[in-house]
Amino acid sequence: MINSASQIDYPAIIELWELSVRASHFFLPEEHLQQIKNLLSSILPGVKLFVYPDRDDKTIIGFLGVSEEKIEMLFIHPDKRGPGHWKFAE
């Protein structure tokens, strides 16, 4: 189930962001990645955040941020990408 996120989720969201970016943004120099990562704590409060926890252990496996009714960020754990990983409520 998708849940609203709070500030308490920020460390897990930032960790997931980094894993996802490292798996998909090969073009991003390490210096830029670290600069963005350092800014995330101040960026996250500016968007409505939603998290998708793993059913088994409740870790966050995906998150999205919405601002002014637009999706501004969407990140998925690299191990959970691909067919067969997402199961929706039946």
Can you give the residue ranges of every domain in the chain? 3-80
CA dihedral 28, 76, 71, 33 (to 10 degrees): -20
Q: What is the pLDDT of residue 89?
A: 45
Q: Which fold has domain 3-80?
A: Aminopeptidase (3.40.630)
The pTM score is 0.85
20: nearest Cα among 5, 35, 37: 37
Mean pLDDT within 83-87: 56
Residues 12-68: pLDDT tens digits?
Answer: 999 999 999 999 999 999 999 999 999 999 999 999 999 999 888 789 999 999 999
Mean pLDDT within 61-88: 85
